[in-house]
Amino acid sequence: MKIILLEDIKKLGSRGEVVEVKDGFARNYLLPQAKALEATSENILIFQKKKEKEERRKEKQRQEALEFAEVLSKISLTVACPAKENEELFGSVTPQMIASALKEEGYEIDKDKVKVEEPIKRLGIYKVKIEVHPEVMAEVKLWVVKK
């Protein structure tokens, strides 16, 4: 029986593929658990339309993320931290601190989206990457100043 997979199934195929499986496997497992549809011409058309709609939605999200990344790249954040005489910080600047500074600027970003390549342990100017979308990264200028 030919079916259209509605989700990725290990050793069988990925979402959207039309595959040939044994009738019993399709009728007793895949179809009742809504993991697949029977591959009729009507179902194939419906699934293709859904897939195109999903791709348009993802592309729209990506474009919005690119626009937001451009806005973020223009801002400059300042984080004040206690420091020693030799400009070394007591501790380091954490993603949580950067997310809080972004929130003060009016941008709600999760701390897990802030990517710090190496710990920031000195005063100075740094470039910090922020994951806006799985495919889009923004770079924000971060000023670490003495408190």
Q: pLDDT per residue over 122-139, tens digit each?
A: 999 999 999 999 999 999
Instruction: CATH number for 2-60: choose from 3.30.70.80, 3.40.50.300, 1.10.3720.10, 3.40.5.10.
Output: 3.40.5.10
pLDDT of the residue at 102: 92
Domain boundaries, the chain: 2-60, 68-146
Point out the residues of the chain with pLDDT beneath 50.
none
Q: Output the pLDDT for position 145.
A: 92
pLDDT for residue 115: 92
pTM exceeding 0.75: no
Cα 12 from Cα 15, distance rounded (Å): 10
The pLDDT assigned to 124 comes to 92
Q: 68-146 sits in which CATH class? A: alpha beta
Asked if the domains at 2-60 and 68-146 fall in one CATH topology, the answer is no
Q: Give the model's pLDDT for residue 103.
A: 92
Supply the pLDDT for residue 147: 84
